[in-house]
Amino acid sequence: MNTRPIVPVILSGGSGTRLWPKSRKAYPKQLHKLYGDYTMLQHTVNRVKGFKAPIVVCNNDQRFMVADQLSELQIAKPDIILEPCARNTAPAIVVAALRAQQLYENPILIVLPADHLIKNTEAFNKALQIALAQAEQKLVTFGVVPTHAETGYGYIQSEKSLEGAGASVVQFVEKPNKETAEGYLAEGTFTWNSGMFVFNSTLLLSELEACGAGWLGCGKNALANAEQDLDFIRLNESDFAECDDISIDFALMEKTKKAWMVPLDAQWSDLGSWDALWEASKKDENGNVTFGDAFVKNCENTLIHGKERLVAAIGLENIAIVDTDDALLVVNRHCTQEVKSVVDWLKSENRTEFQHHREVHRPWGSFDSIDSGDRYDVKSLKVNPGASLSLQMHHHRAEHWVVVRGTAKVERGSETFLITENESVYIPLGEKHRLSNPGKVPLNLIEVRSGEYLNEDDIVRW
């Protein structure tokens, strides 16, 4: 048994574009409850709860949602490292390894993406123990035992068949076509590349340097010059931006002679598409999968993922329907890998649906746009207990607040007062004001904006 400190490293920087419209840049798939009672991030953290507190690497926009979800799991003192820009998995793993070494002596890292599904946790734990035993001298990756000729994953070829403590890695290969994938299965030495690893942190950093990672010093500087911001470690932006934009596979695993594959047969999926979610989910007698309020008649092999509205489907086959507040996706289930093209189009048209949901999360809570028209905009606000919006003023709009639930502390000009359920307050144009929740329960209120210009950028903060 390995006696070194074992530190989970959770990579939570992905955007999950193929799971649009549920997954979006500011609120990606790992922060959603796609299955079970937890978000994907929470499921991932729960798998490794028996070790040290995790180090989670995410981007700035997601920091408060990540912190809230870890708090729900009662994780004591997790480290949340904020990436100032996207630089792929290798720099993220490097700064996490360096941070782990600040906390512990020569720790072992369990590196896991935040957005994977593993149904058989017992099999995962057995494979993990094998990987931990190998990690003293090897750089370990998990190779998922393939169940079919999948063209959506990269593959790992190892020196021998898929059994026991694993084997040395021969090569990593990119996503193959169907014929090539079928050949890999027949060969018997190929596994799916899971993107999960177990690393001796000292060995990881020394091998990266030996493999020519000249940007390693930039990662070290990014952490050395980082700022502590509340509960977050904010990496230095200029230093981190100098790191190569490179995956750990390209930077290390394809170059080192110490790569080792441990086979994993644990009903794993990266849930990279709506078809993958259908494959991984419990189905009715006709192969249908439903989430939310759904009516299904004469349908086969169909996925419905709704929210609050009723979704009715009749006479469909191999269709995925995904309903959100502001977007509806209807797609042939075998074409769900192409959903990314919708996201690309939204970006090209400068539309916001690729980035935000109608409900937008903020450090203090969230707001949901209910209605808008000429010279008015209506929003539902949720303010967390103890949270406060910034002191602010607007040049072009006035606001009315009506409390639906809880108690609001209002600062308006030189006044400070409380309003509670069924009470309201008027904020004139140009008046300094702040809204806070001094209570123990969430504050819900309706905000009605009126004026000639109602966009979010009409704000002056103090």
Whether 25 and 135 share a structural domain: yes
pTM score:
0.86
**Does residue 76 lie in a domain region?**
yes
pLDDT score recorded for residue 2: 59
Residue 161 pLDDT exceeds 80: no
Per-residue pLDDT tens for 331-348?
Answer: 999 999 899 999 999 999
Residue 350 covered by a domain:
no
- pLDDT of 87 strictly over 90: yes
**Looking at residue 376, which CATH number applies to its domain?**
2.60.120.10
Give residue for tokens 């309020």: 293
| Coil, strand or helix at 60 | helix
Give the residue-averaged pLDDT of 277-295: 95
Residue 441 and residue 312 share a domain: no
231 and 103 fall within a common domain:
yes
Residues 243, 245, 248, CA angle at the centre, nearest 5°? Answer: 95
What is the average per-residue pLDDT within 224-235?
A: 93
Domain that holds residue 300: 274-343
**pLDDT, average across residues 399-418:** 97
Q: Are residues 115 and 74 in the same domain?
A: yes
130 and 193 inside one domain? yes
As a whole number of angstroms, the distance between CA 75 and CA 169 comes to 35
Convert 305-326 to b/e letters by CB count within 10 Å (16 or more is b): bbeeeebebeebebbbbbbbee
Regarding whether 283 and 218 lie in a shared domain, the answer is no
**Same structural domain for residues 108 and 251?**
yes
Query: Which pLDDT does position 295 carry in this prediction?
Result: 97
Alpha-carbon span 140 to 263, nearest angstrom: 10
Does some domain include residue 14?
Answer: yes
Are residues 383 and 334 part of one domain? no
For the cut 70, the answer to whether the pLDDT of residue 292 exceeds it is yes
* Domain assignment of residue 258, yes or no: yes
Clarify whether residues 292 and 241 are in a common domain: no
State the average pLDDT for the chain.
93
Can you give the pLDDT at residue 363?
81
Q: What is the CA radius of gyration of the chain?
A: 24
Q: Are residues 307 and 384 in the same domain?
A: no
Are residues 293 and 406 part of one domain? no
Q: What is the CATH number of the domain that holds 27?
A: 3.90.550.10
In a domain, 354, yes or no: no
Question: Where does the pLDDT of residue 51 fall: very low under 50, low under 70, confident under 90, or very high at 90 and above?
Answer: very high
- pLDDT for residue 1 is more than 60: no
Taking only the tens place, the pLDDT of each residue in 166-179 is 899 999 999 999 99
Same domain? For 120 and 49 the reply is yes
If one counts the domains in the chain, the total is 3
